[in-house]
Structure 1
């Protein structure tokens, strides 16, 4: 296989190189308060000159009982939460990527109330990344493709749906992660053209599937957004190495926004939000605590890298 990379991924205004922001949150189970925190940090991102900001997975709600995140789901493109998010983007005049929010999307086979004759699992929601432009218009969305369904012997995952099975033996407590109990699997990759370049939209566990990122690169992406809620265990082991691998092998920027700290269910997330350049260098990182990090996106430099080190055209 020898595929050239489309030229649209290297277009950029001849003005000053744009700034991207990644926001790290410690989301709790109070939706209104979480929205206030988002508004606060998006404003801080704008003050630092960001043209676009990325929020983490589950940025609106982390429930006390894992598996109940879909209780706040709204129809895609409608509802109070999405209206608030659109307003935040519009007020700050920047592009906003909402990491993941549960939505019903009838066009994709998801409806709030299943009825007799409805397709199997049609009552499940999608875990959806939403993209708003600087006018607050919803311009793109992506339904998470890879859902985390495993049982781990002693904790650690990349998932938002978690149930612990207690036993009275001396064996380590098993943790069961079943996102598919609440969510439907998305069927398509998605990218969006933004002021900072073409961004491939992905969510959390997608990170472990490199073929998705290569497909997005072949569609002309210069950046990937990777909002996540990695737990502490898997984050410590795999988070940075996977992020840098996706950047290096595709010669793309990575915008990785993360959850951090302890959440209402007791789950602990890894944090370490970061921005990585196409050479695999970490340009900015926030280890723990809420906050915002920023970096300049230099697409002309990306163009030079791909010309000087044309690994993407050498595939067989």
Structure 2
């Protein structure tokens, strides 16, 4: 199966209505270029550092503007539209960092809540505690589509290869990695991680990213990217501003790559044996 996939790069602000409008414009442009699967970045609906400000615009899934507009766009354009993620208000006071996949009929195929929380202190003084606001997901998703088998990850999930490996073993041919990578971590690791996940699992990676200086003062790395199963970057955007990257996806390339390097089939279980030292100058028994 061959199809055109698009990763839509955005610079979302704090107002969901403005972000939904920007999403619609870019999605329509990507569809006009022939894309039948279109992915938007993490936090499409709101990039908002201020907690009170974010809570003031939150809605549950049924009332969320981006979710509603994405369903309508998918039906209008006859495409698979994947909202990389948007913040969703939960009944327990927490927020879900939730992605949505809509089919060409506008119906929701599935959703995915980001599993791994970005709780880190960076060298430039930035400190992030996603777990203070967000409830982590506990379920991986694999959607069996006419286009191919699509697996789900969001941003920080890319640093956890076991999530990708389990989905690859279950048959994933494409992995989605919508993101809002910080500029500092993106410069160091973004491309390396995406290409590594593609190579080690023999699958396509589609990664739509947030890019540039945001209204809330955050700076994200951009460089939305599509990578093939051999690790070749098929398309890549720049570091700032809106963009659309499109590439032809031929899922036969997945099976070709896995036949050339059959590491999924050759994997073996093993036991980790920790050897204790007798200490300085001593002899182990």
Q: Same fold (TM over 0.5)?
A: yes
Alpha carbons 1:70, 1:182 under 8 Å: kept? no
Structure 1 residue aligned with 2:118: 148
Structure 1 residue aligned with 2:276: none
Measure, in 1, the Cα distance between the counterparts of 2:262 and 2:255: 10
**Structure 1 residues 143 and 248: CA distance shift in structure 2, 3 A:** same
Structure 1 residue aligned with 2:142: 191
1:43-122 to 2 correspondences below 5 Å: 43-63=28-48, 65=50, 68-104=53-89, 110-111=90-91, 122=92
**Structure 1 residues 18 and 275: CA distance shift in structure 2, 3 A:** same
Structure 1 residue aligned with 2:184: 233
Task: Please say which of residues 61-70 and 257-266 is displaced more in the overlay.
Answer: 61-70
Q: Per-residue deviation at 1:103?
A: 2.1
SS in 2 for 1:297: strand
What is the TM-score when the length of structure 1 is the normalising length? 0.81
| Cα distance per residue 1:242-286 (max 9 Å; x no partner) | 000000000010001100010012111100000000000000000
Measure, in 2, the Cα distance between the counterparts of 1:67 and 1:146: 23
| Cα distance per residue 1:284-314 (max 9 Å; x no partner) | 0001321111111111222222223212111
| Cα distance per residue 1:72-130 (max 9 Å; x no partner) | 333335544321121111111111110111224xxxxx41xxxxxxxxxx320211011
RMSD over aligned Cα atoms: 1.6
Measure, in 1, the Cα distance between the counterparts of 2:254 and 2:264: 12
Q: How many residues align?
A: 267
**Structure 1 residues 175 and 182: CA distance shift in structure 2, 3 A:** same
Structure 1 residue aligned with 2:254: 302
Structure 1 residue aligned with 2:196: 245
Which of structures 1 and 2 has the larger relative contact order (alpha carbons within 8 angstroms, sep 6+)? Answer: 1
